[in-house]
Amino acid sequence: MERVSVRELKAHASEILHRVREEGAAYQITRRGRPVAELSPVKDEGKPVISLRDAFAHLFTDEQVAGLDQALAEVRREVADDLERLYREAVEDPESDSPHAI
């Protein structure tokens, strides 16, 4: 179990909670070096909650994961292309009535 101070918990709460939820990480919270609490994943009916990554591995074959990765990469390219096009349009015609004008 990893130790984290109250100050670190305040500064990195989102990241720490993400690790608890997604990776099943557990933390001992300390104040002035002394343990005051523990932070761990919620158990459901005595069964540990598995991480999203583990659930994904159980639900899909390696081939399906590769297909999903390819589809996600294509979506990322399309979004990047759209953003680039909108930026070019805004720069080329800044007086445009377009809501995308800079």
pLDDT at 47: 63
Could you give the CA distance from residue 34 to residue 13 in angstroms, rounded to a whole number? Answer: 19
- Cβ proximity of 88 and 94 under 8 Å: no
Residues of the chain whose pLDDT is less than 50?
A: none
Could you give the CA distance from residue 2 to residue 45 in angstroms, rounded to a whole number? Answer: 25
pTM: 0.43
Could you give the CA distance from residue 33 to residue 88 in angstroms, rounded to a whole number? Answer: 54
pLDDT at 48: 61
CATH topology classification for 1-49: YefM-like fold (3.40.1620)
CB atoms within 10 A of CB 56: 13
pLDDT at 95: 65
Q: What are the residue ranges spanned by the domains of the chain? A: 1-49, 60-96
pLDDT at 60: 77
pLDDT at 22: 86
Establish how many alpha carbons lie within 13 A of residue 30's alpha carbon, considering only the half-sphere containing its beta carbon: 9
Could you give the CA distance from residue 76 to residue 36 in angstroms, rounded to a whole number? Answer: 44
Tokens representing 76 are 């990322």
pLDDT at 94: 63
pLDDT at 64: 81
